[in-house]
């Protein structure tokens, strides 16, 4: 599978790292990753399956992760502020993160692309479809929500995730173990955990820029994003909504709410699938759904 290697797109002081796979003459497809995760969390095997279906696939690091610009001067947002004063606490919003995606499209010379986003990436994709519709050919919103205020996870589950994220990381092996533990908690109970791959992603993510404050700044942007359902009702981009029936982070009701908000959106749910990394057993089905959407 052809790769450009890591490239940098830049606008003003913001640098966004990205990587392209597949022939440049094929259908353009942009992958947007979720909260605190780097672009390498899109499995190469999943990318290969998309390339084999006739896509040129681009993945990139959102701001505040990996090799993209980190907004360290904004500091570390407090949990209290994110929960009770999200608008005042966030140093940027999903609009800014969507604009970063446009920086990548511009660097590639793409006037538009098929957009596939997971979790926070799905929410960024929704913002693109709402506010930059001419740049979006189709939208696939996976494991996402139109509002952070509906279908919340239980307090007990949220506390488990918060406790895991607070665990100090002192080297790449501890980063690898926490990555495995995180997906053991939020992942897909109906499928085996791909522990060797998760460990390697954890190690590489540590090498490429471990930044817990950056993840919190992204989380602040998510919590400050508000309810998009009214805006999504005006979307006329062909849309596919994919959600796991065992998702404990964004409950299945959030996937249904996304599909109900977007006219003509098609909802597909998967038994046994949770949140985060797509189980490899579902790659063929997911790729087939994306290809079907594009052909529509």
Average pLDDT over residues 69-91: 91
Q: How far is CA 50 from the centre of its chain?
A: 17
Answer yes or no: is 125 within a domain: yes
Answer yes or no: is 1 within a domain: no
The whole-angstrom separation of Cα 198 and Cα 246 is 20
pLDDT of residue 165: 86
Tens-place pLDDT, residues 31-49: 999 999 999 999 999 999 9
pLDDT of residue 60: 98
Answer yes or no: is 93 within a domain: yes
The whole-angstrom separation of Cα 78 and Cα 80 is 5
Answer yes or no: is 163 within a domain: yes
Percentage with pLDDT > 90 across the chain: 87
The whole-angstrom separation of Cα 291 and Cα 142 is 15
Q: Is 76 exposed, middle or buried (0-12, 13-18, 19+ CB in 10 A)?
A: middle
pLDDT of residue 80: 84
- For the domain that residue 122 is a member of, what is the CATH number? 3.40.50.1820
Answer yes or no: is 95 within a domain: yes
Question: How many Cβ atoms from other residues are within 10 Å of residue 26's Cβ?
Answer: 15
Closest CA to 60 of 153, 138, 125: 125
Residue 228 has pLDDT above 90, yes or no: yes
Residue 2 has pLDDT above 90, yes or no: no
Average pLDDT over residues 187-203: 97
Average pLDDT over residues 127-143: 98
Q: Are 142 and 242 in contact (CB under 8 A)?
A: yes
pLDDT of residue 102: 98
Average pLDDT over residues 128-137: 98
Answer yes or no: is 2 within a domain: no
* CA atoms in the 13 A half-sphere facing the CB of 115: 32
**Any idea what the Cα angle at residue 243 is, between residues 241 and 244, rounded to 5°?**
165
Tens-place pLDDT, residues 265-275: 999 999 999 99
Across the chain, mean pLDDT equals 95
Say how many domains are in the chain: 1
Residue 153 has pLDDT above 90, yes or no: no
Residue 7 has pLDDT above 80, yes or no: yes
pLDDT of residue 157: 87
Could you tell me the pLDDT band of residue 24, with boundaries at 50, 70 and 90? very high
What is the value of pTM for the model shown?
Answer: 0.96
Average pLDDT over residues 190-199: 97
- Domain range for 145: 7-295
Answer yes or no: is 74 within a domain: yes
Q: Are 275 and 143 in contact (CB under 8 A)?
A: yes
Answer yes or no: is 215 within a domain: yes
- DSSP H stretches of helix in the chain: 44-52, 79-84, 86-89, 94-108, 120-131, 155-166, 172-186, 195-209, 212-223, 229-232, 252-261, 283-295
pLDDT of residue 79: 84
């Amino acid at each position: 599978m052809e790769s450009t290697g890591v490239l940098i797109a830049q606008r003003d002081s913001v640098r966004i790292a990205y990587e392209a796979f597949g022939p440049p003459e094929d259908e353009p497809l942009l992958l947007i990753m979720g909260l605190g995760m780097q672009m390498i969390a899109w499995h190469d095997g999943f990318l290969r399956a998309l390339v084999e279906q006739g896509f040129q696939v681009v993945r990139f690091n959102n701001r505040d992760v990996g090799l993209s610009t980190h907004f360290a001067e904004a500091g570390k947002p407090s949990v209290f502020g994110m929960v009770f004063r999200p608008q005042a606490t966030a140093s940027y919003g999903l609009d800014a993160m969507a604009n970063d995606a446009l920086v990548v499209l511009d660097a590639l010379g793409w006037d538009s692309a098929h957009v596939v986003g997971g979790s926070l990436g799905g929410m960024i994709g929704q913002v693109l479809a709402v506010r930059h519709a001419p740049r979006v050919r189709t939208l696939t919103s996976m494991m996402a929500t139109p509002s952070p205020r509906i279908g919340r996870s239980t307090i007990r589950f949220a506390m488990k995730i918060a406790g895991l994220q607070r665990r100090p990381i002192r080297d790449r092996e501890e980063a690898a173990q926490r990555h495995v533990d995180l997906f053991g908690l939020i992942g897909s109970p109906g499928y085996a955990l791909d522990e060797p791959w998760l460990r390697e992603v954890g190690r590489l993510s540590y090498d490429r820029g471990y930044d817990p404050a950056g993840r919190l700044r992204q989380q602040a942007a998510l919590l400050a994003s508000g309810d998009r359902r009214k805006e999504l009702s005006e979307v006329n981009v062909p849309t596919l909504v994919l959600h796991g029936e065992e998702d404990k982070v964004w409950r299945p009701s959030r996937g249904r709410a996304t599909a109900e908000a977007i006219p003509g959106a098609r909802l597909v749910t998967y038994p046994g699938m949770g949140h985060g990394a797509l189980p490899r057993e579902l790659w063929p089905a997911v790729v087939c759904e994306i290809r079907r959407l594009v052909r529509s």
